Amino acid sequence: SPLEMETLKGSLEMETWKNAPYRIQDSSKYVFRTENYSAVTVVSEMDACMALHCWQDCKVGDMIVIRPAFGDDTTSFKCKVVGLNKSCDIIYLQAERALCEEPPRKRLPGLGEDYFLLGLASASQAVSPVSCAKGVISTVFLDKAKHIRGTSGANPGDSGGAVFSADSRTLLGMCVGAEGAGYAGPDSTTRQLTAHSSRAVILPADLLQL
């Protein structure tokens, strides 16, 4: 279908929030934000995580206040920093009270799997509090920092955002940034299908909790 072709080309699409599919709106309850609008992904009833480069001065034992990114942002939750991993670029948080009624289901992403990235990209703020980018898992081989890649790309504000399976609302990982990607080969057909302005850098779901 045309949508599948656009996804394969790694195009970045922002959806108007009120028209977003139910599965995306439902998953947004697992996306929180800090006071400085850094994205936070809820991974269990009491646990969450965010990208370390968004809060570089924190240390274990610090308290960080987070709020739901979508809906009632007057509700706040105090979270303790219980772990840091500079290589993976992640802060592990533990809340003083439950962050959600039902925790997200989690599993490892599959090669070629469709996903959507829910973040706080600044370009989307005029339309919705949460941005949505669609993509395909392009590699499941871990690099030295234990990251994989997706074709959606990522914008400033997406670091710490949640990556969900497009068809099952299962948490696949957390975005920690983007990297540029060149052409995979000289052939014109290959150039058309593989040229991306950037690729999303994703930390898989099994590394989102201590």
* Tens digit of each residue's pLDDT (9 = 90 or more) over 186-200: 333 333 334 445 899
C-alpha to C-alpha distances, 31 to 13, 61, 188, nearest whole angstrom? 18, 22, 39
Mean of per-residue pLDDT scores for the chain: 81
* Percent of residues, the chain, with pLDDT higher than 90: 58
Residue 131 pLDDT: 84
Residue 13 has pLDDT above 90, yes or no: no
Q: Give pTM, 2 decimals.
A: 0.81
